[in-house]
Amino acid sequence: MVHISMLRMLTRLDRTHGRRFLSSVIRVGSSLPLETKLETFVNGEKMERSVGEIFKGKNVAVCGVPGAFTPTCSDKHVPEYIKCLETYKTKGIETTCFAVNDAFVMKAWKKSLAAPEELIMLSDGNGTFASQLGISMDTGGFGGLRSRRFAMYVEDGVVKVLNLEEGGAFTDKSSMLKLLDQIKE
């Protein structure tokens, strides 16, 4: 029998639609929730795109961070990713950076990092996508709902490699260089 506190722990609230759903942590072989909407900028215009539009029929690397402009994300995790973008590109892999921030913050952060145009910044403003993947964390007064740090490789909407950190920690586990080595030719 499932203990009620365990069930509460597994139950997440989809803030967009006000409904509860049961979720566990995404894993290799899982399909992404293709109908979920994320925001990004395309040709200078803010756009809402479905996860399906972003990932279906494509090979995509995702650098997931707890928050834009945070020291570890800005000084270590994303700059390392930017250095290897060209290698991802030569392998035919699109590159994205994901955070539970609004699209304008992500756009400003991209500019401050001097990131090239091909790095697509994905904004999950209310944390719906992170919650659906089971990778959200509550940081309280620090920043509220955030995403755990991760590196993920997705083919046609299906997770092929997932390196998920505990909380917001940054080790070589979520290194984008490590992810690059794990991707099969």
List the chain pLDDT tens, one digit each, 185 residues.
333 333 333 344 434 333 334 458 999 999 999 999 999 999 899 999 999 999 999 999 999 999 999 888 878 889 999 999 999 999 999 999 999 999 999 999 999 999 999 999 999 999 999 999 999 988 888 788 889 999 999 999 999 999 999 877 778 888 999 999 999 75
* Residue 122 and residue 47 in contact, taking contact as beta carbons nearer than 8 Å: no
Topology at the third CATH level for domain 24-182: Glutaredoxin (3.40.30)
**Domain ranges within the chain, ordered by starting residue:** 24-182
Which of 63, 73, 84, 97 does the annotation list as catalytic? Answer: 73
H/E segment holding residue 40: strand 37-42
DSSP single-letter state for residue 15: T
Cα–Cα nearest to 38, from 25, 27, 51: 51
Residues contacting 88, CB < 8 A, separation 6+: 61, 94, 95, 180
Tokens representing residue 99 in the block: 């955070």
73 carries an active-site annotation: yes
